[in-house]
Amino acid sequence: MATDSTVSPLRQRMIEDMAARKLGRHSQRSHIHSCQRFAAYLERSPDTATPDYVRGFQLHLIESGLSICNRNRIMTGVRFLLRVTLRRHDLAAEVYHLKEPQKLPLVMSPDETKRLLAMASNIKVRVVLSLGYGCGLRAGEVVRLQVKHIDSAQGIIRIEQAKGRKDRNVMLSPEVLALLRQWWTARPTRYDEGVAAQERWLFPGRKPGRPLTTRQLNRLFHETAEAAGIKKAVTLHSLRHSFATHLLERGTDIRIIQALLGHAKLDATARYTRVATGMISAVESPLDLLTEPRRKLNKTRREQPPAA
């Protein structure tokens, strides 16, 4: 597999295999980069690899200090090459994935979220952050919003072909709708010529015909979080975590939250029960229950009138 700007026949076959299976653009780029790294380790084409080289490459990744997540991502791309493009199932069987540590999502408190939104530098920043928290949208979903996705009559936002190539609807709150209308009057229109109104990006980027990038959105978030004095190592995705956790703490059915987030499995949504601090702190400890009968007895004795 060529590691320079040229495209080798093997790389071209892999690109065609990924396109035939409708892998996303980011997945294709990740798989190609992974196989380039494998080829650099081999110092020759991957189609000459042996089981020992596959095992050695996996050991090399761990010794190089890569995180388990990145190591697994690289081996997913290599396994695709071996199993699909090369049809070397004996080599693909040598690939194994390590169990990733399960970490709790980092969630902001309602007060921190309020401070964050209050410190937005302009209406554009306020709107994009409000969509992340108020609707539970991912960064990529926020930047790809178009006018046609906003249904004010039904009070919903339609998210098209999100993660996993799935559509879903999320609620359009009156607060978010008011912010969107305010932003629409201030939104730059220099790139809208010739574009139908319903097809226009809500948040146009610097390049004509392209929306705001997720990198630009992340930068706006971190600038605002710093201005708000939030010391936690929060990310833009923390707004989505906070959306789910705060809904759960207010008693929203977990299956409704699952639908709003677009999770295929309930287990992915259930993890927010581990960070819903309001629910956790409200649980009565069994230690308190041990002394409860004694407390009730003392209270009853105090309430009884003294004997005549």
Residues annotated catalytic, as ranges? 138, 163, 237, 240, 263, 272
**What six digits make up the tokens of 1?**
């597999």
Question: For residues 130 and 107, what is the distance between their CA atoms, to the nearest angstrom?
Answer: 15
Distance CA 243, CA 241 (A): 5
Cβ–Cβ < 8 Å for 92, 51:
no
